[in-house]
Amino acid sequence: MPNQSTEQLVPIADIREDVVVLKNGSLRMVLDVSAINFELRSADDQIAILQGFQRFLNSTDFPLQIVVSSRELDIDAYLKTIDQIADSTENELMKIQASEYSQFIRELSSLSNIMLKKFYVIIPFYIYETPKITGLVQSLKGMFKPKEVSKEFTEEQFVTYKNQLLQRAELIYGGLVGLGLKIRTLENEELKKLYYELYNPEK
């Protein structure tokens, strides 16, 4: 197998105007979705949430990807801030409470890893692919691992395709907001940070 640079292995061609452009010419918009504590809801609320999510999936007539990112949370900076507050305050009671809280967090993190979970909905838009009658498995392969063929399009075309993505995003918003979730579109710098962390998990 010939040597390949990291850049060749990454399918991203560009990130602009809050849209990810892949090397095969297809586009992606990434939505950051909040979480809800399902277990703390009543039985009726849980049923309503499940039914609402089912309606959302049934009403979506285009493919989408739901991604859950789970990373160990670095709490050193947080603990350092608490210690600085404890050292700088003149209120003795506040100093004691801050110190005890800092010690509690340290003990808790030593027992188990504190994880940060983020939830994303990835909306794709395919431009150059010709629809074909294929099986489900082949369709999914095409969605998650498209052919690495470089495609280019004009600024006018980009605006048109982005508007198509925005229309899909509005449908996602409408379907998930009713479940009590908060949704927002990731912007350029956030997208770069997200993909950097995905391709550099050790950082």
Residue 133: pLDDT band with limits 50, 70, 90:
very low
- 99 CB-contact burial (10 Å; exposed 0-12 / middle 13-18 / buried 19+): middle
Please tell me which residue, 51 or 74, carries the higher pLDDT value: 51
Query: Residue 4 — very low, low, confident or very high, per pLDDT cuts 50/70/90?
Result: low
Residue-level pLDDT at 132: 47
- What is the per-residue pLDDT across 165-198, written as a single tens digit (0 to 9) for each? 999 999 999 889 888 899 999 999 999 998 888 8
Comparing CA positions, the residue from 185, 167, 171, 139 lying closest to residue 55 is: 171
Percent of the chain with pLDDT over 90: 33
| Interval 127-133 mean pLDDT | 51
Average pLDDT, integer, range 126-133: 56
Q: What pLDDT is recorded for position 186?
A: 94
8 Å CB contact between 14 and 192:
no
Across 26-30, 104-108, 126-130, 152-156, the highest mean pLDDT is recorded for 26-30
pTM above 0.75, yes or no: no
Q: Examine the pLDDT at 143 and tell me if it is beyond 50.
A: no
In this structure, is the dihedral angle defined by the CA atoms of residues 179, 182, 187 and 190, taken in order, positive or negative? negative
Q: Is the pLDDT of residue 98 over 70?
A: yes
Domains in the chain: boundaries: 6-70+118-199, 76-111
Cα Dmax for the chain: 73
